Structure formats: C-alpha cells, structure tokens
Structure 1
C-alpha cells in the first residue's frame, strides 16, 4: 500500500515515524508541503519520497493523509480537487475542526472516500489514541485498511462525528494534562529532596503502570482507588487533601473549556 501525506507538520511526522517504526517502508510513503525546504530535508532524514506537488502525492498513493492547518484546508483541497476526483484515494483527514460534510463541499462531490480522524501525539511512539469516522463512500475493506494503519501506532475508537470535540479533550489534549500531572508529582518529590530527573522517572512510571492497570483490570478506576487506600492511611489523607484543593473539579473544568474552545 502506498501512503501519502499532504502537509508535514508535527502530527504528520508523528504518524509517519510511528508507521515506520512498525515496519512501513519509507519508499512507500510520499510527502509534500507548502515549504520545500521542510519536506525535502525531512525526506533526506527519513528516506520517504518527496513529491513536487500535492497532486503528485494523490496520484501515487492509495491512502492520502490530509494533515494541513484548518486555515489552509480549503485552498489545498481546491488545488487538488481534480486529482482527488480522478484517482479517488481514501482521504484521511487529521485536520482539527473540519467536518466530513465541509470536506465534501469543498471538493464539490459527495462521492469522495473520506475518513475523518483525530490521532493524539502518542502515535509517534506507537501508543496513540485515534478517533475514526467515515462517510458512506468508504468500503469496509478500505476502512479496515485505515484502521490497521492506526492500530499499528496505538488504539482506535469509532465515534460519531458529533463527539469529536469530546474526544479532543479526552485524548487529544489530555497528554498535556497528564504531562502536567507528572511534572507536578515530580516537583513535589524535588520539594522533599529528590533530584528532578529521578523524581520524573518515578512519577512517569507510576502513571504508566496505573494506566495499564486500568486497561487490564475489570474494576473501575474508582474501585482501584479503593484498593490502594487503606483506612486511615497516607493515600486517603493525600486524596482528601487533593479533593479539598479541587482536583476533580479542575479536571472537569479543563475538559469543559477544551470542548468549548474546540467547538468555537
């Protein structure tokens, strides 16, 4: 399978590097972006194939990732409209906030095969979380191909398009929330004498193990909280202090604001 990328920003690079780590050959990846120096250097660094135009990417690819900024997506789609309609690749959009209907309208066709996606940054290390939603033109076979690409670099969730803003908060922005939490734990360790590097390693591994426990356990996260909270113990005292400071409320408010911002 030939895979194309229109746009070579941070998310496109994360997906490309994640796929290559999982065995996708560089020679089967085709890229182009608005800045020649950017995509040519990246091609030299990784071995992926640089194309002279976005249309060339489409002509050479079975699946094309649309990975440009929302502000330029209309311009780019109008530029490649003829190539898309002629070659009819599966168009995989990672453009934030642009619906399938908007993509169809810009291309002037309801017959284009489109999968709207929202990967998070952890696809770069093969541990991403990606939302998927397809239009009716995407066959089960093509959809499975797209699923398998994202399953190489993490987990996928099929969701309704109306739920993308919620997904943005729960998976797209949440890595930053988790980094913030890990750093706060680490700084607390520094307060009591650990060096920052060691404290960060300890905190990050504790969070990683806890996340894996949630995924592997039949218990709810709250039941797992109870499991490690001895009556009258240190963990209970810490949890009560965090909740008095508004820990859960701050998380819910962060999600609320993220969703509101995404919806515009």
Structure 2
C-alpha cells in the first residue's frame, strides 16, 4: 500500500510521523509533494520518504491520496489530480470545510472518498479523528483508508453536520487543554515551583486524569466526586472556579470557535 500526501503542512507531518512510528507502511511508500519544493524534498530526505515532482505524480503512484492543502487552493489542486484518480484509489481529505458532496463534484462522482478531521496529537499516536465516508468507499478500501488514522489516533465516525462541533472540542481543544495546563503551571510558579517542574506536574496530571477517565468508564462528574471529600480543599477549589465562570468560559470558547469556522 502506498500513501500519497498532497501538501506537507503541520497536520500532514503529524500524520506522517504517526504512520512512521506505527510502521504501517515502509517510509519509501509514503509519497509527498507540496508547493514548496525545497521544504518537501528536504523533509522527504530526512525521513526516507519518496518525493514526487507534481501532485499528479503523487496521485498516479498512490493507493490512498491524502489531500492536505489549505481550503483556498483545494479546487485548483483537485483539478490538477483529477485525471489520476479512479475507483481503485481513495481520496482522503483532511481539508476543513469541504463536504463530501463538494469533493465528489470536484473529482468524480464514483470516486471512493473519506473526509476526515484529525488533530495534531496524531504525531504521537494519541490523536482523535472524525471520519465520514461516501457510499463508494466500502470493504477493503475503507479498511485501508481508516488504517491511516487507526495507526495514529482514535476514530469517531460522525455525520458531517457534527464536524464543526468535533473540530472545536478536538482540533482546537488541543490548544485549549494546553492553555489549561499552562494556567495550572503558572499557579504552581506562584506558590514556589519552577515553571518546568510545574508544567511537568500539570501535564502528567492532565494526561493521567484523561487516561483514568477513559479506562474507568465513569463520567467526569463521577471522577470529580471521587476526589472531592466533604468540606475539603478540592471542592473549595471547584466552587471557586465555577464562581469565576469556568464552565461558561469554556462553552463560550467553543461557541466562538464554531462561529468562526462556520460563519454562523
């Protein structure tokens, strides 16, 4: 199986690094091209990937074609590669805001297509990816397409109308969670910890809490109750955060993210 990447932005690189670490395919079976020749050739040489001279060359030589360009150039790029697409290849789009219907209009109505929204944590095998397939993507082809993300992340198959919400609480939320970790670490500095020590403590606690939540099968509220003893310091902190508008601030942040991405 050969996987081609058209565009080598930060998200594409995160997926590529995740694939290499998972050893899903040999490095030379990852084909790349981007508009910036020196950048993509240097990147290919560094990791043993195969650099191609054109987007069409990537398409013709690949079984799975990952479209990883900015939305403003997607139409132009799809026109470039259209002649190299066929029903024995799969187009995987990680371009935000372009629907399955529009992707089909710009390529071929019989083309197997997977629309996806990965997040940047895919680089470390800890990503979260939303996917939706068109009716032409089935069986072994669908399994192959999903394997790209299964190697680097957890997968959630969602209806397209839920993609903006997913993007906010998964894609953008990576930054929001890091923002929260940074806030915890700054509070630690206030009380005498070094920034490095406080950041390590806060990050590991966040990671451990998420892992425990996933493994326990309990709700976040139930996990909170396990830590909050009656009249204790933790419940005092929870109430102080809530009085300061913690929950409403988070929801307003998500509202702003979705409004910006959808224009609604």
Same fold judged by TM-score > 0.5?
yes
Q: How many residues align?
A: 262
Q: Aligned runs of 1:111-260 on 2, under 5 Å?
A: 111-260=110-259
Runs (4 or more) in structure 1 with deviation over 6 Å come to none
Structure 2 residue aligned with 1:22: 22
Structure 2 residue aligned with 1:82: 83
1:32 equivalent in alignment to 2:28 = no
Deviation at 1:218, TM superposition (A): 2.5
Structure 1 residue aligned with 2:104: 104
Q: Following the alignment from structure 1 to structure 2, what is the Cα–Cα distance between the partners of residues 147 and 105?
A: 23
Q: Following the alignment from structure 2 to structure 1, what is the Cα–Cα distance between the partners of residues 152 and 44?
A: 21
Structure 2 residue aligned with 1:9: 9
Q: Following the alignment from structure 2 to structure 1, what is the Cα–Cα distance between the partners of residues 253 and 232?
A: 29
Deviation at 1:88, TM superposition (A): 4.4
Deviation at 1:174, TM superposition (A): 0.6
Deviation per CA, 1:192-247: give whole Å up to 9, x if none. 11000000000001001100111011221101101100111000110010000000
Q: Following the alignment from structure 2 to structure 1, what is the Cα–Cα distance between the partners of residues 148 and 14?
A: 13
Q: Following the alignment from structure 1 to structure 2, what is the Cα–Cα distance between the partners of residues 91 and 218?
A: 35
Deviation per CA, 1:165-216: give whole Å up to 9, x if none. 0100111111100000000000000001100000000000100110011101
Q: Gaps (5+ residues) in structure 1?
A: none
CA-atom RMSD, angstroms?
1.0
Q: Following the alignment from structure 1 to structure 2, what is the Cα–Cα distance between the partners of residues 194 and 211?
A: 23
Q: Following the alignment from structure 2 to structure 1, what is the Cα–Cα distance between the partners of residues 100 and 244?
A: 41
Q: TM-score normalized by structure 1?
A: 0.97
Q: Following the alignment from structure 1 to structure 2, what is the Cα–Cα distance between the partners of residues 77 and 26?
A: 25
Deviation per CA, 1:89-115: give whole Å up to 9, x if none. 1000000111111111122x2111110
